[in-house]
Amino acid sequence: MQEIVMPANRPEMALLCLLIPLLPFIGFALNGLGNRKLPKGLVGLIGCGTVLASFLISVYLFLDFTSSGSRPYTVDFYDWISVGSLQVGFSFLIDQLTLLMLLMVTGIGFLIHLYSAGYMSHDEGFGKFFSFLNLFMFSMLLLVMGSNYVMMFVGWEGVGLCSYLLIGFWNKNTNYNNAAKKAFIMNRIGDLGFLLGIFLIFITFGSVSYPQVFAEATKVAGVDTPVLIAITMLLFIGAMGKSAQIPLFTWLPDAMAGPTPVSALIHAATMVTAGIYMVVRSNVLFILAPTTLDVIAIVGLVTALVAATIGLAQNDIKKVLAYSTVSQLGFMFLALGVMAFSSSLFHVLTHAFFKALLFLGAGSVIHAMSNEQDIRNMGGLKKALPITFLTFLIGTLAISGIPPFAGFFSKDELLAHTFQHSKIMWAFGVLASFMTAFYMFRLLFLTFFGKFRGTEAQRSHLHESPAVMTIPLIVLAVLSAFGGFLGIPSVFGSNHIIGSYLSPLYNYAKGINATPFEPMHLSHETEYMLMGISVAVAIVAIIIAYVMYVKKETVPVSEDTRLSPVHNLVYNKYYIDELYNTIIVRPVMWLSTTFYRFVDVVLVDGIVNGVGRFVTFSGRTLRHAQSGAIGFYVMVMVFSVVLILFLNFFIG
């Protein structure tokens, strides 16, 4: 019944585990130190090679793990923090979840590194870019491999730092720097929640190491106790910041200021899914707090809906994809909220495939269009960019949920679980998925169909990207097309590979509440109906988009035209940025200005300057005592000595 986590007693495995995060770190050090001195070819080789090596080691670990009975083990390196009863080891936990994340992070990471070698080849900060990317890989690997919450937190902060560095990669542009700061500060809010959650876990369970915490948690009497709700809510606040959920989601669309491969790697495929990883990792704690799960489901659903509606009206190719990412993350949290942890992870995986693909495709388009990002100035790129078009089409079909592409299986499974939990949530989920299909095809049609709307200079420059960029696209397209077969629903009589692979993760949780982990008890007819509805909805959305943007050749209006109120509201992202500005940023700015004016200038400066002025004044006054007459000095000295003697003998 209980999951046995044993230490690995094979030293060569420990070394291999250590090499996985260490190799990208070495790449970071080499590329960072040799930033401008190393030739670009070598930088690319170090950057991609280290990640590829990590990927190959991960594959080996995975094969070794599955062939030797799939028993999780920990790899202890040394005692990192040892204070009183707090013992934090520098150790890795290798289990199903870690291996899945490892494969995903290193595999997609490698493809994106490869793509970056082409995409960034003209940039002067090539070495800097690769060193940051490698540092990101290192932090992300630490995050998923660590065997306790403190190590996860270290990785968590590391990826936040790299996200900041890479969003502001072109740091000569103030807007980009502001976007980077915004991402960093919003993540800080979430991180504070996460940190408090870790403290509370330590206070409650006396440890921060996963196996111990989970073993302790199963012994806790009672479900939904205040302390459990507090722990899970705080952890969820952390996840909210990192995975861009309402209310901390506005940083992610702005994060698109970074180079496109960064958007693909950090802000679509890996870092933003860290929140989901954390919740799945702590599934025992969340199972114990159903209230938090309800909150998660609602937040996820609202995020999915809100972000999808905003996505309908955006005209920047990367912004559309960014809102789509927020919306898909909302779906994943919805699945977590209804306790469909494996489905959520399945969607993380397929989403990583198709969203990385879409972002890289968008990057290829931007590259061909000489850094144009506005879809109103694109159109008809199908001919000029055939490979990009085909792969982008596959990605779009996958995200829209058209069978047999990857997104269909994961999203359908997720929605089926939601249906089982609550019909209303399911209906809203289907609505969000309808909008997803619509805005994704709107993007596709406006970019690749119709007539070219750009300038003459852009038209003459149009070209398909080099092979180093198209190969990752093709690989990701294949994964997006067939990745879904990892989780074929049981209706089709096949084995759900991901589901059965991940099921040992929930051994502890099953001891508390086994219901969520039983196979779905929907009748086959209902399941077919659900699938039919979601596919039909997607097809309707595609047809509407086709009629609007291909048949009628509608082009979104330019900036200065007046929009209808609803359109305007959506186009301006519900004025959420403005709202935050008014209710949070402005008061804080006002407060700090006030503190500056009164506390700093008046009080602190007043005291310091006052002391200085007093000394000057007393010096100026007392200098008259120094007459220069030596006789006077000597007299004063003698009288003082006499006075001291007098006091000494007759008073003291």
Partner 1 sequence: MNYIPEVIRTIPLEYYLYFSAALFSIGVIGVLTRRNAIVIFMCVELMLNAVNLLLAAFAAYRSDPHGQVFVFFIMAVAAAEVCVGLAIIVMIYRNNRSTDVQLLNHLKW
Task: Return the residue of 626, 648, 651, 652 that touches partner 1, per CB under 8 A.
Answer: 626
Residue 651 Cβ vs partner 1, minimum distance, rounded to whole Å:
22
Q: What share of the chain is helix, strand, coil (3-state, %, to 5)?
A: 75, 5, 20
Our finding on whether 564 is near partner 1 (CB under 8 A) is: no
Question: In one letter, which amino acid is 397?
Answer: L
Strands (E), 212-272: none
Our finding on whether 630 is near partner 1 (CB under 8 A) is: yes
Residue 627 Cβ vs partner 1, minimum distance, rounded to whole Å:
6
Nearer Cβ to partner 1, position 81 or 636? 636
Nearer Cβ to partner 1, position 221 or 625? 625
Alpha carbon distances (Å) from 518 to 92, 461, 524: 30, 56, 16
Helix (H, G, I), strand (E, B) or coil at 166: helix
Residue 634 Cβ vs partner 1, minimum distance, rounded to whole Å:
6
Residue 614 Cβ vs partner 1, minimum distance, rounded to whole Å:
19
Nearer Cβ to partner 1, position 635 or 647? 635
Our finding on whether 651 is near partner 1 (CB under 8 A) is: no
CA distance 293 to 619: 71
Our finding on whether 636 is near partner 1 (CB under 8 A) is: no
DSSP state string for 185-214: HHHHHHHHHHHHHHHHHHHHHS--BHHHHH
CA distance 354 to 360: 10
Helix (H, G, I), strand (E, B) or coil at 48: helix
Nearer Cβ to partner 1, position 536 or 638? 638
CA distance 483 to 404: 9
Residues touching partner 1: how many (CB under 8 A)? 10
| Candidate ranges 52-60, 413-421, 428-436, 630-638; the one touching partner 1 (CB under 8 A) | 630-638
Residue 648 Cβ vs partner 1, minimum distance, rounded to whole Å:
17
The torsion defined by the Cα of 511, 513, 515 and 519, in degrees rounded to 10, comes to: -40
Task: Return the residue of 635, 643, 645, 647 that touches partner 1, per CB under 8 A.
Answer: 635
Our finding on whether 638 is near partner 1 (CB under 8 A) is: yes
Nearer Cβ to partner 1, position 69 or 631? 631
Structure tokens at 237: 């606040």
Task: Return the residue of 85, 631, 648, 650 that touches partner 1, per CB under 8 A.
Answer: 631
DSSP state string for 281-300: HTHHHHHT-HHHHHHHHHHH
Our finding on whether 621 is near partner 1 (CB under 8 A) is: no
Q: What is the DSSP letter of 620?
A: H
Task: Return the residue of 565, 628, 649, 651 that touches partner 1, per CB under 8 A.
Answer: 628
| Candidate ranges 149-157, 383-391, 398-406, 632-640; the one touching partner 1 (CB under 8 A) | 632-640
Residue 639 Cβ vs partner 1, minimum distance, rounded to whole Å:
10
Task: Return the residue of 4, 457, 629, 651 that touches partner 1, per CB under 8 A.
Answer: 629
Helix (H, G, I), strand (E, B) or coil at 138: helix
Alpha carbon distances (Å) from 538 to 300, 385, 431, 479, 491: 20, 26, 10, 21, 21
Residue 616 Cβ vs partner 1, minimum distance, rounded to whole Å:
14
Our finding on whether 623 is near partner 1 (CB under 8 A) is: yes
| Candidate ranges 276-284, 480-488, 545-553, 633-641; the one touching partner 1 (CB under 8 A) | 633-641
Q: How many CA atoms lie within 13 A of 594 on its CB side?
A: 6
Our finding on whether 521 is near partner 1 (CB under 8 A) is: no
Structure tokens at 118: 């082409």
* Residue ranges binding partner 1 (CB under 8 A): 623, 626-631, 634-635, 638
